[in-house]
Protein backbone atom coordinates (compact mmCIF):
# COMPACT_ATOMS: atom_id res chain seq x y z
CA UNK A 1 0.00 0.00 0.00
CA UNK A 2 1.36 3.42 -0.97
CA UNK A 3 2.13 5.74 1.92
CA UNK A 4 -0.33 8.53 2.69
CA UNK A 5 1.19 11.81 1.52
CA UNK A 6 -1.65 14.32 1.83
CA UNK A 7 -0.81 17.27 4.09
CA UNK A 8 -3.33 18.70 6.59
CA UNK A 9 -3.79 21.82 4.42
CA UNK A 10 -4.46 19.68 1.35
CA UNK A 11 -7.03 17.52 3.15
CA UNK A 12 -8.77 20.56 4.66
CA UNK A 13 -9.04 22.22 1.26
CA UNK A 14 -10.43 19.04 -0.32
CA UNK A 15 -12.96 18.75 2.52
CA UNK A 16 -14.32 22.25 1.91
CA UNK A 17 -14.75 21.50 -1.79
CA UNK A 18 -16.48 18.21 -1.01
CA UNK A 19 -18.84 19.77 1.56
CA UNK A 20 -19.47 22.99 -0.36
CA UNK A 21 -17.86 25.21 2.28
CA UNK A 22 -15.90 28.38 1.61
CA UNK A 23 -12.15 27.74 1.28
CA UNK A 24 -10.23 27.80 4.58
CA UNK A 25 -9.03 31.31 5.49
CA UNK A 26 -5.51 31.22 6.96
CA UNK A 27 -4.26 34.31 8.83
CA UNK A 28 -0.86 34.74 10.42
CA UNK A 29 -1.34 36.28 13.88
CA UNK A 30 2.24 36.27 15.18
CA UNK A 31 5.70 35.83 13.72
CA UNK A 32 9.21 35.91 15.08
CA UNK A 33 12.07 35.23 12.68
CA UNK A 34 15.77 35.83 12.48
CA UNK A 35 16.46 34.06 15.76
CA UNK A 36 17.43 30.52 16.72
CA UNK A 37 13.78 29.93 17.68
CA UNK A 38 11.71 31.11 14.72
CA UNK A 39 7.99 31.02 15.38
CA UNK A 40 4.93 31.51 13.19
CA UNK A 41 1.39 31.37 14.65
CA UNK A 42 -1.60 30.88 12.35
CA UNK A 43 -5.35 30.91 12.77
CA UNK A 44 -7.67 29.27 10.26
CA UNK A 45 -11.39 29.90 9.89
CA UNK A 46 -13.38 27.22 8.13
CA UNK A 47 -16.90 25.74 8.30
CA UNK A 48 -17.86 28.08 11.14
CA UNK A 49 -14.97 27.13 13.43
CA UNK A 50 -11.51 28.52 14.10
CA UNK A 51 -8.31 26.73 15.04
CA UNK A 52 -4.76 27.87 15.73
CA UNK A 53 -1.37 26.39 15.00
CA UNK A 54 2.30 27.20 15.45
CA UNK A 55 5.59 26.13 13.96
CA UNK A 56 9.20 27.11 13.22
CA UNK A 57 8.21 28.02 9.65
CA UNK A 58 5.14 29.45 7.96
CA UNK A 59 4.48 26.14 6.27
CA UNK A 60 4.55 24.16 9.52
CA UNK A 61 2.47 26.75 11.35
CA UNK A 62 -0.16 26.63 8.63
CA UNK A 63 -0.21 22.81 8.59
CA UNK A 64 -0.55 22.74 12.39
CA UNK A 65 -3.57 25.06 12.22
CA UNK A 66 -5.14 22.88 9.51
CA UNK A 67 -4.36 19.73 11.53
CA UNK A 68 -6.12 21.18 14.60
CA UNK A 69 -9.08 22.32 12.49
CA UNK A 70 -9.49 18.80 11.12
CA UNK A 71 -9.55 17.42 14.66
CA UNK A 72 -12.37 19.80 15.58
CA UNK A 73 -14.31 18.96 12.42
CA UNK A 74 -13.81 15.26 13.14
CA UNK A 75 -15.36 15.71 16.60
CA UNK A 76 -18.29 17.51 14.94
CA UNK A 77 -18.79 14.61 12.53
CA UNK A 78 -17.96 16.74 9.47
CA UNK A 79 -14.59 15.15 8.70
CA UNK A 80 -14.01 11.39 8.56
CA UNK A 81 -10.30 10.44 8.48
CA UNK A 82 -11.13 7.08 6.94
CA UNK A 83 -12.55 8.79 3.84
CA UNK A 84 -9.68 11.21 3.29
CA UNK A 85 -6.71 10.32 5.53
CA UNK A 86 -3.95 12.78 6.24
CA UNK A 87 -0.26 11.97 6.59
CA UNK A 88 0.97 11.82 10.17
CA UNK A 89 1.80 15.33 11.27
CA UNK A 90 3.67 16.59 14.31
CA UNK A 91 5.05 20.02 15.13
CA UNK A 92 8.84 19.70 15.67
CA UNK A 93 9.87 19.56 19.33
CA UNK A 94 13.10 20.22 21.14
CA UNK A 95 15.19 17.27 22.20
CA UNK A 96 13.96 17.77 25.75
CA UNK A 97 10.53 16.74 24.53
CA UNK A 98 8.84 20.05 25.29
CA UNK A 99 7.46 22.42 22.72
CA UNK A 100 9.72 25.41 22.05
CA UNK A 101 6.64 27.53 21.46
CA UNK A 102 4.39 29.32 23.90
CA UNK A 103 0.62 29.55 23.55
CA UNK A 104 -0.42 31.84 20.71
CA UNK A 105 -0.67 35.46 21.72
CA UNK A 106 -4.14 36.74 22.63
CA UNK A 107 -3.84 40.16 21.06
CA UNK A 108 -7.01 41.57 22.64
CA UNK A 109 -5.94 40.71 26.19
CA UNK A 110 -2.41 41.94 25.50
CA UNK A 111 -3.79 45.24 24.19
CA UNK A 112 -6.06 45.64 27.21
CA UNK A 113 -3.14 44.97 29.56
CA UNK A 114 -1.02 47.64 27.87
CA UNK A 115 -3.85 50.18 28.13
CA UNK A 116 -4.25 49.45 31.84
CA UNK A 117 -0.50 49.62 32.43
CA UNK A 118 -0.12 52.92 30.54
CA UNK A 119 -3.36 54.36 31.97
CA UNK A 120 -4.91 55.07 28.61
CA UNK A 121 -8.52 54.28 27.59
CA UNK A 122 -9.44 50.69 26.87
CA UNK A 123 -9.72 49.71 23.20
CA UNK A 124 -13.14 49.81 21.57
CA UNK A 125 -14.13 47.13 19.05
CA UNK A 126 -16.91 47.75 16.55
CA UNK A 127 -18.27 45.63 13.71
CA UNK A 128 -17.94 47.65 10.51
CA UNK A 129 -19.52 45.25 8.06
CA UNK A 130 -20.69 41.70 7.48
CA UNK A 131 -20.91 40.66 3.84
CA UNK A 132 -21.30 37.47 1.83
CA UNK A 133 -23.58 34.42 1.93
CA UNK A 134 -24.25 32.65 5.25
CA UNK A 135 -21.69 29.92 4.56
CA UNK A 136 -18.93 32.37 3.60
CA UNK A 137 -19.36 35.52 5.67
CA UNK A 138 -16.57 38.10 5.80
CA UNK A 139 -16.54 40.29 8.89
CA UNK A 140 -14.74 43.62 9.22
CA UNK A 141 -13.96 44.92 12.71
CA UNK A 142 -12.32 48.14 13.80
CA UNK A 143 -10.22 48.67 16.89
CA UNK A 144 -10.18 52.24 18.20
CA UNK A 145 -8.11 53.94 20.89
CA UNK A 146 -8.61 57.71 20.95
CA UNK A 147 -8.05 58.97 17.39
CA UNK A 148 -6.11 55.84 16.38
CA UNK A 149 -8.07 53.21 14.49
CA UNK A 150 -7.23 49.92 12.80
CA UNK A 151 -9.35 47.51 10.74
CA UNK A 152 -9.17 43.83 9.91
CA UNK A 153 -11.22 41.29 7.95
CA UNK A 154 -11.76 37.58 8.61
CA UNK A 155 -14.32 34.80 8.26
CA UNK A 156 -15.28 35.01 11.94
CA UNK A 157 -15.96 37.95 14.25
CA UNK A 158 -13.52 36.64 16.84
CA UNK A 159 -10.65 36.39 14.39
CA UNK A 160 -11.39 39.81 12.88
CA UNK A 161 -11.24 41.39 16.35
CA UNK A 162 -7.97 39.60 17.13
CA UNK A 163 -6.39 40.78 13.89
CA UNK A 164 -7.56 44.36 14.44
CA UNK A 165 -6.05 44.22 17.96
CA UNK A 166 -2.82 42.80 16.54
CA UNK A 167 -2.57 45.70 14.08
CA UNK A 168 -3.20 48.17 16.91
CA UNK A 169 -0.46 46.55 19.01
CA UNK A 170 2.02 47.11 16.21
CA UNK A 171 0.99 50.75 15.75
CA UNK A 172 1.04 51.52 19.47
CA UNK A 173 4.78 50.89 19.75
CA UNK A 174 5.43 54.43 18.54
CA UNK A 175 2.14 56.06 19.52
CA UNK A 176 1.82 55.35 23.27
CA UNK A 177 3.41 58.67 24.39
CA UNK A 178 0.99 60.64 22.16
CA UNK A 179 -2.00 58.69 23.47
CA UNK A 180 -1.00 59.35 27.07
CA UNK A 181 -0.76 63.10 26.38
CA UNK A 182 -4.04 63.15 24.48
CA UNK A 183 -6.02 61.64 27.32
CA UNK A 184 -4.33 63.15 30.36
CA UNK A 185 -6.79 66.07 30.44
CA UNK A 186 -9.80 63.84 29.72
CA UNK A 187 -8.72 61.51 32.51
CA UNK A 188 -8.52 64.34 35.02
CA UNK A 189 -11.98 65.58 34.04
CA UNK A 190 -13.54 62.13 34.35
CA UNK A 191 -11.96 61.53 37.74
CA UNK A 192 -14.18 64.27 39.17
CA UNK A 193 -17.24 62.53 37.73
CA UNK A 194 -16.09 59.14 39.00
CA UNK A 195 -15.50 60.56 42.48
CA UNK A 196 -18.99 62.04 42.49
CA UNK A 197 -20.48 58.70 41.43
CA UNK A 198 -18.54 56.81 44.09
CA UNK A 199 -19.58 59.29 46.80
CA UNK A 200 -23.23 58.65 45.82
CA UNK A 201 -22.69 54.89 45.80
CA UNK A 202 -23.86 54.15 49.35
CA UNK A 203 -27.00 56.23 48.88
CA UNK A 204 -27.96 54.34 45.72
CA UNK A 205 -27.18 50.82 46.91
CA UNK A 206 -29.29 48.54 49.09
CA UNK A 207 -26.20 46.89 50.64
CA UNK A 208 -23.81 47.96 53.36
CA UNK A 209 -20.25 48.00 51.95
CA UNK A 210 -17.40 46.46 53.87
CA UNK A 211 -15.45 49.54 54.94
CA UNK A 212 -12.32 47.45 55.53
CA UNK A 213 -12.00 46.67 51.81
CA UNK A 214 -9.48 48.88 50.03
CA UNK A 215 -9.93 50.36 46.56
CA UNK A 216 -6.81 48.63 45.28
CA UNK A 217 -8.53 45.30 45.99
CA UNK A 218 -11.24 46.05 43.39
CA UNK A 219 -9.59 44.06 40.55
CA UNK A 220 -9.70 40.90 42.69
CA UNK A 221 -13.26 41.23 44.05
CA UNK A 222 -14.95 39.40 41.16
CA UNK A 223 -12.27 36.68 41.17
CA UNK A 224 -12.84 36.15 44.92
CA UNK A 225 -16.58 35.75 44.31
CA UNK A 226 -15.83 33.24 41.56
CA UNK A 227 -13.57 31.24 43.90
CA UNK A 228 -16.23 31.21 46.62
CA UNK A 229 -18.78 29.79 44.20
CA UNK A 230 -16.31 27.41 42.52
CA UNK A 231 -16.70 29.13 39.16
CA UNK A 232 -14.01 29.56 36.50
CA UNK A 233 -13.42 32.12 33.79
CA UNK A 234 -14.51 29.53 31.20
CA UNK A 235 -17.98 29.56 32.80
CA UNK A 236 -18.37 33.19 31.74
CA UNK A 237 -16.26 33.35 28.56
CA UNK A 238 -19.15 33.16 26.06
CA UNK A 239 -21.30 35.79 27.80
CA UNK A 240 -18.31 38.14 28.11
CA UNK A 241 -17.88 38.21 24.33
CA UNK A 242 -21.00 40.34 23.75
CA UNK A 243 -21.55 43.40 25.96
CA UNK A 244 -25.28 43.65 26.70
CA UNK A 245 -27.45 44.17 29.76
CA UNK A 246 -28.89 40.69 29.23
CA UNK A 247 -25.44 39.08 29.41
CA UNK A 248 -24.44 41.32 32.32
CA UNK A 249 -27.44 40.06 34.28
CA UNK A 250 -26.61 36.44 33.42
CA UNK A 251 -23.03 36.89 34.65
CA UNK A 252 -23.96 38.70 37.84
CA UNK A 253 -26.84 36.34 38.67
CA UNK A 254 -24.33 33.48 38.82
CA UNK A 255 -22.23 35.55 41.22
CA UNK A 256 -25.34 36.70 43.14
CA UNK A 257 -24.41 40.33 42.56
CA UNK A 258 -26.82 43.17 41.83
CA UNK A 259 -26.28 46.17 39.59
CA UNK A 260 -27.73 49.54 38.57
CA UNK A 261 -27.52 51.53 35.33
CA UNK A 262 -28.57 55.10 36.05
CA UNK A 263 -28.67 58.43 34.21
CA UNK A 264 -25.80 60.41 35.70
CA UNK A 265 -25.86 63.64 33.69
CA UNK A 266 -28.09 65.09 30.97
CA UNK A 267 -25.66 67.26 29.00
CA UNK A 268 -23.57 65.62 27.77
CA UNK A 269 -25.48 62.39 28.49
CA UNK A 270 -23.66 60.19 30.99
CA UNK A 271 -24.70 56.77 32.32
CA UNK A 272 -23.37 55.22 35.52
CA UNK A 273 -23.10 51.41 35.72
CA UNK A 274 -22.64 50.31 39.34
CA UNK A 275 -22.03 46.77 40.62
CA UNK A 276 -23.26 46.02 44.13
CA UNK A 277 -20.01 44.64 45.50
CA UNK A 278 -17.92 45.59 48.53
CA UNK A 279 -15.60 47.83 46.55
CA UNK A 280 -17.17 50.67 44.50
CA UNK A 281 -17.25 49.41 40.91
CA UNK A 282 -18.49 52.40 38.92
CA UNK A 283 -18.20 52.81 35.15
CA UNK A 284 -19.18 56.10 33.50
CA UNK A 285 -20.31 55.97 29.87
CA UNK A 286 -20.72 58.99 27.59
CA UNK A 287 -22.83 59.19 24.43
CA UNK A 288 -25.13 61.25 22.25
CA UNK A 289 -28.09 59.92 24.25
CA UNK A 290 -28.61 57.98 27.46
CA UNK A 291 -28.91 54.74 25.47
CA UNK A 292 -25.59 55.41 23.72
CA UNK A 293 -23.99 56.30 27.06
CA UNK A 294 -25.41 53.09 28.52
CA UNK A 295 -23.92 51.05 25.65
CA UNK A 296 -20.52 52.68 26.25
CA UNK A 297 -20.70 51.96 30.00
CA UNK A 298 -21.59 48.33 29.29
CA UNK A 299 -18.77 47.99 26.76
CA UNK A 300 -16.16 49.41 29.17
CA UNK A 301 -17.51 47.33 32.06
CA UNK A 302 -17.25 44.10 30.05
CA UNK A 303 -13.63 44.89 29.12
CA UNK A 304 -12.71 45.41 32.79
CA UNK A 305 -14.71 42.40 33.98
CA UNK A 306 -13.10 40.17 31.34
CA UNK A 307 -9.67 41.26 32.53
CA UNK A 308 -10.43 41.09 36.27
CA UNK A 309 -12.01 37.62 36.03
CA UNK A 310 -8.80 36.19 34.53
CA UNK A 311 -6.53 37.45 37.31
CA UNK A 312 -4.68 34.86 39.37
Give the tens place of pLDDT for each residue, 136-161: 778 899 999 877 889 988 877 888 88
Distance of CA 263 to the CA centre of its chain: 28
Give the tens place of pLDDT for each residue, 190-207: 555 555 555 554 444 444
Give the tens place of pLDDT for each residue, 240-288: 999 999 999 999 999 888 898 988 888 888 988 888 887 767 888 888 8
**What is the separation, in whole angstroms, between the first and last Cα of the chain?**
53
Cα distances from 179 to residues 142, 168, 183, 185, 186, in angstroms, run 18, 12, 6, 11, 11
Domains, in order of start, for the chain: 1-104 (3.30.160.20), 106-184 (3.30.160.20), 200-312 (3.30.160)
Give the tens place of pLDDT for each residue, 93-138: 433 333 333 334 568 877 887 888 777 788 899 999 998 887 777 8
Amino acid sequence: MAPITKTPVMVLQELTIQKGFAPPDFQIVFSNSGTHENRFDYMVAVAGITASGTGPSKQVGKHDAAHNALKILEEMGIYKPSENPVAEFKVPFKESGGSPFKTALNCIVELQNICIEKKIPAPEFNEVSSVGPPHAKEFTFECKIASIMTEAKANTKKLAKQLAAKEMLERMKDLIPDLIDEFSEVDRALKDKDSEAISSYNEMMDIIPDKSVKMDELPYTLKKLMDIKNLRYEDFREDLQTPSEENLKKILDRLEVGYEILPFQENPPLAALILKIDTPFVIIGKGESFEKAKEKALSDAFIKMDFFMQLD
